[in-house]
A and B are shown apart, each in its own frame.
Chain A
C-alpha cells in the first residue's frame, strides 16, 4: 500500500492546493464546454461508448484490418506481448540503425513499459519533448496526471529543474525548453510517439496534442515509431469526429486540441515531409486479460482524457504518486489490478460516481470497482464479519437486541470505530430508537 505517499500528499498544504486548483481548472473548462451543448454532448458520449464497445467486441477483425492498411502504406506492425518485447524491439532497431538519440512525445504507454529506462541503459539518449514530461524527466519523476504530468510542480520548482534564472516567467521557461528541444529534434534519429487513435480503415495513427512536439517527433527524425496499446483501434476515419470532440472537451475544455496529426506510413513519392521508416508497435502487456473479462472489458475503452481524475475527490486529495502504477485516478484503479498486484486499490474509493458521470466513453467505473472488490482476496475476519452482518440483518429480533449499543456511555475504540475516531467524532445517539418511539406512540 502506498500509504507513505498518501500521507505525504495529505500533509503537504502546497501540494494539496496545487492538485486541487489544477484539477478544478480543467474540470471547469470541461463544464463550460459541456454547458454549450448539453444534449448533444450526452449523445456524443453515447456514440463514443457504442463505437468503443463494438470495436472491443470485434477487436481481432479491426486489428487485422489495421495491420493490412499500415503495411499497404509502407509501414510495419510489431505485435508486442509484453513491455519487454516492445522495448527490445525499439532498442534493437536503434542499434541496427546506429541511432543514439531519440526524441519522444508524451506517451503513457511508454511510461507503462519503462521504455526510457530500457533505452538509457543501452546507452541511447532519450529526450521527452512534451514540456510537462520534459520537466518530469529532468526531475527523475513519473507523470503525476494522465494529461498534465507536471501538475504538481510550482513555477519555482520548474525554474530550478530547468536551471533557469530566478524569477523567470512561464513564457521564458517555455522558450528556454523550446530552444533546447529544437536541437534535439534536429539531431534525433528516431522519434517515438504514442497514439490516441489507430484507424483500422486507413492505417493511420492519430495523435492529439497542444504543443506541436508530437508532430515534430514524428516528422523530423528519419524513423517514426508509434507505440500504442492495441485497444486504441477504432474502425473508421469518420468515427474520429465523435472522439475528437469529446476528448478535447473532457480533457482541457478545448473545443479541439491545437494539433491533430494523422500519421500514416513513411513519406511517399512526392510528399514534402514525413519519416523514411514507420513502425507501429501494438502492445498487449496484459490487455488481453482485461479483454477476456466481459464485465470489465469496457475499461479498455478509455481515451485517457483525464476527466475522471479531475473530478475524483480521492485523486484530488492523494495525488498521482499514491497510486501504485502509471495510471492514476479512477481509471488507474480499475486497470491496475489487472496488471500488478494491488488488491487494496479498488477499495480506495467512496464510490461517489463522479468519474462515471464525466467519462466521455461512459465507462461505469464504480460498477467495475464493485466487481473488483468482489474478486479481491478477503481476510477471514472480514468474511466472518460480513456473514455475521447478513445473519443479524435477516434476523430482526437479534437486530433489535443491538440497540444496547446506543445506550453505552463509551464505546470501545477498536477496529473500525478506532479508524472512525481518528478523524471524526461520533454523533450523539438518541436514547430511544425509532422503533421504540413508534411502539410508544401506538
Chain B
C-alpha cells in the first residue's frame, strides 16, 4: 500500500506506535477495552492529514463505532492537516474529540478513487481475478465500485465476478474460533462460488477475509491464491 501511495505522489508518515483499532474487543462485547485501544489510535494519528487504512473492517470500526462511544465519526470529518498511513499490521480505531485538527480516515481503495481521483495506478498483473466484497466494506462503508474500478485498470488482469461476491467468508473475528465448523462451512460455500468463476486469484481489501479464505483454500489443496488489493496494485 505504501508503494502504491508513494507512486501516486503521497508523502507517507508511518507512525510506529500504531497498533490496533480495538475492533476485536468491541465485537466481543468489551466496549471499554475497545475504547482504550481506540483512544490510543487517536493519540497516535493525531495531526495527520489523512489516515489510509488497508482494511474496510478497520475503517468502518473507526468511522462508525469509533471505539464504542468515542467520536471517531466527528474526528474523521474534521479538516485535514498532514498525511499518515495506518500500516499493514493491525486493525484500527477512533478519535479523541478533544484534540483537533484530527485526520480523515479512509479505506485504501476509496482513498485512491475519491481523494486522489485515480483509478489507474499503472499496475500490471497477468491473472484472472475475482473480487470478494468484505462485509463491513460493502455494508457499512458502501464500497463496491472503487476496488473493481482499480482492478479493471490493471494491465493483463481479467476480472471474473462470482455469483456470491457479497456473501460473508465466515471469518467474523472471534466467531471463527468460537464456531469454527460453521465458519469453515461458510468459507467453503464461498470458495465454491470462487471456483465457479475460473479465477486463479481472489482479491479483497480486508486481510482477515483473505486469511480465512486462504486458510480454507490451502486446507483443500486448492491452487487459487489470495491477494490484497494493495498487492495487486503494487504489481508491475
Q: Hey, which bits of chain A sit against chain B, CB under 8 A?
A: 6-7, 10, 20, 313-314, 316-318, 347-354, 356-357, 370, 372-376, 378, 382-383, 386-387, 389-390, 392-394, 396, 399-400, 416-417, 419-420, 422-427, 433-435, 438-439
Contact = CB atoms under 8 A, between A and B. Distances in A.
B186 interface: yes
Given A394-B19, A419-B178, A424 B184 contact: yes
Nearest to B44: A396
A394 B14 CA distance: 17
B182 A348 contact: yes
Given A347-B174, A353-B139, A389-B24, A423 B219 contact: yes
B16 A423 contact: no
A313 B181 contact: no
Given A347-B175, A396-B19, A374 B30 contact: yes
17 contacts: A6-B182, A10-B182, A313-B168, A348-B175, A349-B175, A350-B135, A351-B27, A351-B175, A353-B135, A386-B33, A389-B33, A393-B20, A393-B37, A396-B19, A422-B184, A423-B216, A438-B87
A424 B129 CA distance: 22
Nearest to B190: A313
Contacts of A417: 177
Interface in B1-57: 2, 14, 16-20, 22, 24-31, 33-34, 36-37, 39-40, 44
Interface of B: 2, 14, 16-20, 22, 24-31, 33-34, 36-37, 39-40, 44, 87-90, 135-136, 139-140, 166-168, 170-187, 189, 211-212, 214-216, 218-219
A317 B189 contact: yes
A interface: dominant SS: helix
B87 to A, nearest CB: 5
Contacts of A316: 189
A23 B20 CA distance: 37
A6 B173 CA distance: 20
A337 to B, nearest CB: 12
Among all A-B residue pairs, the 8 with the closest Cβ atoms: A350-B172, A424-B215, A423-B184, A373-B29, A352-B168, A390-B33, A352-B135, A416-B177
A240 to B, nearest CB: 29
Contacts of B14: 435, 438
B235 to A, nearest CB: 17
A3 to B, nearest CB: 9
A352 B139 contact: yes
A72 B150 CA distance: 65
A386 B25 contact: yes
B37 A394 contact: yes
Contact of A419 (B2, B135, B139, B180): B180
Contacts of B136: 353
A419 B177 contact: yes
B181 A7 contact: yes
A396 B17 contact: yes
Contact of B215 (A313, A393, A426): A426
A348 B177 CA distance: 10
The winner among A6, A350, A419, A420 for most chain B CB atoms within 10 A is A350
B25 A389 contact: yes
